[in-house]
Amino acid sequence: MLREMTCIVCPNGCDLEIQVEDGKVLSVKGALCRRGEAYAEQEITDPRRNIATSVLVDGGELPLASVRLTAPIPKARIFDAMGEIRKVKLTAPVEAGTKVIGNLLGLGVDVIVTKDVGVRG
């Protein structure tokens, strides 16, 4: 089976043609470098995504604080991960870099704040 996708590892955005059989990558065409081949392999065998979203902040100058994962997680776990993140409610002030969930769903990644939120004045 032929799968087509765009490599998103760098701005070149190479169009990849991946020959797949029984879930295994047989060949990758169109990649200008080895990172594209590794990306195709990852996407076919264990697709992962990061999450960038926000959590509620009580008493903050903004109602939400942006958060992200420290590493991508399996695509199939994104829905469950969002469910956990939605339960979080912080109290201002909130500092960038603060860990709000450790070892999310036992996946070995943390959820961290990416932007400061000060106290509402």
Q: Give the footprint of ligand SF4 on this chain (CB under 6 A).
A: 7, 9-10, 12-14, 31-33, 35-36
Nearer to ligand SF4, 12 or 91 (CB): 12
Strand-strand pairing, 48-49 and 73-74: antiparallel
CB of 43 to ligand SF4, least distance (A): 11
Q: How would DSSP label each residue in 17-57?
A: EEEEETTEEEEEES-SSHHHHHHHHHHHHS-EE--EEEEEE
Tokens (6 digits) for 4: 């087509």
CB of 17 to ligand SF4, least distance (A): 12
Nearer to ligand SF4, 30 or 59 (CB): 30
CB of 42 to ligand SF4, least distance (A): 12
8 A C-beta contact, residue 121 and residue 61 = yes
Strand-strand pairing, 15-21 and 2-6: antiparallel
Nearer to ligand SF4, 7 or 57 (CB): 7
Nearer to ligand SF4, 33 or 82 (CB): 33
